[in-house]
Amino acid sequence: MEAQELIKRYKAGERDFILLSLRGCNLSGADLYNVNLSGSDLRESDLSDADLVGASLRRADLRGANLRGASLGGADLNRSDLRDADLHGADLSYCNLEGAQVTLEQLAQAQTLQGATLPDGTLQE
């Protein structure tokens, strides 16, 4: 699926986009509040400044994705692969990162981790 098709269907009210191949797509600045992209391939995609608040990204492949400045508050990133993803300025407040593949260095780049459940299951206060 192409990024424009996803946005068009999202605007029409569709929210479930499970197991899609969106590798390298440009969703920069997209409004995808509460979208379900569980299990989707988003490797090397541009999600900078995207609104992904409340999104389900469980088991999504986000390796090398640009999440710079993205709003991910309350998103479910359980078991997602965030290796080499750019999290500079991303809002990860109240995210579920349990089991996610992400480094502490990457998490330190985030704007906020308040209330997030970290990969080891601990709660960030």
Return the pLDDT at 124: 85
Spatial distance between the Cα atoms of 25 and 46, rounded to a whole number of angstroms: 6
CA angle centred on 106, ends 103 and 111, rounded to 5°: 140
Task: Confirm if 32 and 53 have CB atoms less than 8 A apart.
Answer: no
| Mean pLDDT within 48-70 | 98
Residue 122: DSSP 8-state: P
Query: What is the value of pTM for the model shown?
Result: 0.93
Check residue 118 and give its pLDDT: 92
Distance CA(96)–CA(114), nearest Å, equals: 11
Per-residue pLDDT, averaged over 32-43, amounts to 98
Q: What residues have CB less than 8 Å from 116, skipping those under 6 apart? A: 92, 93, 94, 95, 96, 97, 123, 124
Is the pLDDT at 33 greater than 90, yes or no?
yes
57 vs 120, higher pLDDT: 57
CATH number at residue 8: 2.160.20.80
Torsion angle defined by CA atoms of residues 6, 83, 97 and 29, in that order, rounded to the nearest 10 degrees:
-30
Q: Which domain holds residue 40?
A: 1-125
- Residue 24 half-sphere exposure, CB side, CA atoms within 13 Å? 0
Three-class SS state of 11: helix
Average pLDDT over residues 96-102: 96
Enter the tokens of residue 87: 């999290």
Over the chain, what is the mean pLDDT? 96
- Tell me the mean pLDDT in the region 43-47: 98
What is the structure's pLDDT at 1?
84
The per-residue pLDDT for 31 is 97
Tally of domains in the chain? 1
Distance CA 18, CA 23 (A): 14
